[in-house]
Structures are given as C-alpha cells and as structure tokens.
Amino acid sequence: MRLQTDTKAIVLSVLRDGPKHGYAIAKAVRETSAGMLKLGEGQLYPTLYSLEEEGWVVAEWEGEETDQPRRVYRITESGCKELEQRARRWHDFVAGVNRLMPDEPRPEVAR
Amino acid sequence: MSGQQFLAEVREQVGHQIPADVVESRLRELRSHIDLATEAYVELGDDRVGAESQAVRAMGDPRLLADDLIRQFHRTDRASAWRLCRWTAPLIALIAVAPAFLLPSWAGLVGSFEQIIQILTILAVTIFMCHVAVTRRWLFLPVSVWSTGVAVLCVLLSFLSTPPSHPNSPNPVFIEGLSKERTAIQAWQAGMPPTSLGPIEVPSSGVLTLLYVPFPIPQRYPSSYMMKAMTPDEAKAAWATYGRACAEAFPQKEREVMAMVEGKSYSWPERWGALARITLITFALSGFVLGVFNAMVLWIVSRARRRRAARITVS
C-alpha cells in the first residue's frame, strides 16, 4: 500500500527528540516506525530546506574540519508549535478513521 | 550509479536555475548523506561498490530530486497561485482577447478569422498547461479571473468611449463588405466572374453583436461574420458553391447590417445587463475549460512522478 503522509510533521517529530543530520533523520523514521515508513531520502532534503525557510528548524554545519562534514538540523520553538498543530490534526483524522474501522480484521465478509 | 554520477546528474538537472553557491551547499550535504549511508551498508557486510550503489538508490531519481530542489528554492511548491500566475495569467488573458483587436487583413495571413481564434486559443491553453506542468499547482482560478477581468475591461472601455444615446455611425468595414458582396452577387447572377477578389464575407449563422462597441472591435472586424481573404481562383470556387446561398441571404443580411449601423443605440441598463452576461459567461467558461486542463495535466504529471518517486511509503 502506498500512502502520502505529512512529511514535514514526521521530520519535525523526529527532530523533537534532538538535533540530527539528514541521514540520521531518515534512519530514525525507518527505525522508529519499525520499517513501516520508508523515507525517500532524496526527497527529504527539499522538505528540510522548506522547514528551514519557514523558520521551523535551523541548521548548521558541524565537523567541517573533518572529511565528513554534516549539516545538523535543530527544531525551533515555532517548529514545536507547528508540530503540535499538525499532530492534533493527525490524531483527529486517525480517531475519525478508527471510529469507522472494525477492531479486528474479519477473515470473511458476511453475505 | 555511483555517488559521483548521482551528484553530477543532480547538478546537470539543476543547471543554472539555482545560484552556484546554493547548489554546492546542497550537493555537499547530499554527498555527506551518501557517504554515511554507504558506511552503514558496509558495516552490514556489503562491499563498498554495492553499498554506495544501494545508498544512491535510496536517494531516488536524481531528476526528481533536482526538480524538487528547484521548486523549493523558487517557492513554487508553496507560493500563492496568484503570485505564480502574475505573468502568465495576464499574458493568457491578452492572447484570449487579442482577436477582437485584429485587423481584418491579418486574417488573410493564416486563412480565416476563425483560424486565428483557434490558433490563439491553442496557444493560450498550451501556455497554461506548460505553466501547470512546471508548477504542479491549481492555477485555473487566477487565470480565469484575469481573463474575465480583461474581457470586462475591454467592454467597459467601449462603454466609456460612446455615450448611450449616441447612434452608431456607419461602419466602413460593413458598408464596404456589403457593397463588394452586392457587386459580386450581381456579377454571379449575370454569369460573370465575381469582382470581389479581396476579403469577402461569407454569411454565417452568427447573431449580430448585441453591443455597440465603437472601440476597435466592430469597426475593425464584424465578428459575427466569417471573413476570409481569397485568391481569385478561391473566390470563383467559393462563389460557385455559395453564390445562390449568398444571393438569397443577401437582402436579409443587408437589412440586419443596415439596422445595426444606422442609428441603433443601447441604454445603460442594456449595457450593464450585457456586461453581467459577458462576465458570467467568460468566468464560467474559462474556469471550466481551464479547470479540466489543469486537472488533466496534474493527473499526468503526478502519475509520471509516482513511477519514479521514492516518497514516504507504508509497506
């Protein structure tokens, strides 16, 4: 099944646990969702730049003196507020769907 | 594909659409990501070449990535549709109303007035579709509003340029057309070749325009008649085919044209009613047509992208 989700909310949510670089964000999404969510890693970066432009995250290069410099992202206060709003909308949506769904998948549909 | 090739492809696709220093910063970050991912795959037991290949594959299609980077940089993905259309919407609107301002002789350049309208309509819709394909946004509303606005402006200008009580003055284009047609019909009835070898009018079922618009529209072009510039041979052939019909239709047509050019005037209530009709029809028609094309392009583009995209998916 392929579903489009709120990528920005997911990225903000991962960053709420602490500053991370792009690869770590993609890894965190994969691991935290136990492999259910797979982030198209290339598409992660335009999302991060949008978040940065909105002022919801800030970024800075770290380890520039090493051969593996990384751009680390940190969630801002306005980013936290945005995440709260998006999370609320998401939970409302899920609650609505849950009310419609049966508790257990039924093996056969009664005719 | 190696990491280097991937980054080269992204750089090529981005071209000069993003400033060089920004591109370098983006590529540096992508390079760092690919290196980290490669290390992770190596730790899992892959050889370096295979690991790098896997890391690059996880990045998705470089063309899509470049496209997203460009969209993100230029704010195409989140700017308002009105701002995105600030150049194309007026352009499309002007192209759409351009036929009203064309000189009759220009119709001869491509064949007929109707062909000019068709060509300009296709041009306007093509520009609109290209813009939708590039921005991947719903743009039909601003374009419809602009088109309606420009159409209304043209009509308002015509209102302002003529007082309501002012009778129509004889229109040289109509009078000359009638005169030529009368001469041509007489020649045809006498079994002689028609003398009308320039632009001739072929009667159509169009209703004479309700509005008296002295501003260029009727003075330059009687829009309810299909005009065509013909060669002598074409004119002969046309008269052979349409001669009888023209001769039969001519008295009625003459009455209609003369009624229009001799003294009929329109009051302000009539004008405002006509303006309201034009506004509604233009907005509804352009909104519907452009909305359909907008939806079509978005559907095609999203399907094309979905095949190549590696977004967040639920497995």
- Mean pLDDT per block of 10 residues along chain B (315 residues) reads 86 86 88 88 86 87 87 85 89 79 59 73 91 91 90 76 53 64 74 50 34 33 42 61 71 69 61 80 90 94 71 49
Out of A5, A39, A49, closest to residue B72 by CB: A49
Report the pLDDT value the prediction gives residue B299, as an integer from 0 to 100.
Answer: 92
pLDDT tier at A75, thresholds 50, 70, 90: very high
The set of residues, in sequence order, having a beta carbon less than 8 Å from that of B119 and lying 6+ positions away, is B110
CB burial of residue A108 (10 Å; 0-12, 13-18, 19+): exposed
Tokens for B140? 């039909």
Reported as type and span, the H/E element at residue A38 is strand A37-38
Q: Looking at residue B100, what is its pLDDT?
A: 65
Cβ of B288: how many Cβ atoms within 10 Å? 12
Q: What is the pLDDT of residue B209?
A: 34
Q: Are A3 and B313 in contact (CB under 8 A)?
A: yes
Question: Which of B11, B42, B311, B315 has the most A C-beta neighbours within 10 Å, making it the best mutation to test the interface with A?
Answer: B311
Q: Residue holding tokens 């008649």?
A: B225
pLDDT on residue B49:
86
Query: Over pLDDT 70: what percentage of chain A?
Result: 88
Phi/psi zone of residue B86: left (φ > 0), alpha (ψ -120 to 50 degrees), beta?
alpha
Separation between Cα atoms, residue B14 and residue B315, nearest integer Å:
31
Q: What is the pLDDT of residue B17?
A: 85
Beta strands in chain B (DSSP E): 199-202, 226-229, 313-314
Closest-approach residue (CA) in chain A for B61: A42
Cβ distance of A21 and B64 shorter than 8 Å: no
Please, are residues B64 and B72 in contact by the beta-carbon 8 Å criterion? no
Instruction: Say which DSSP state B59 is in.
Output: T
Q: Which residues sit opposite B201 in a β-bridge?
A: B227
The residues, ordered by sequence, that sit 6+ positions from B160 with a Cβ below 8 Å of its Cβ are none
Shortest CA distance from A46: residue in chain B = B69
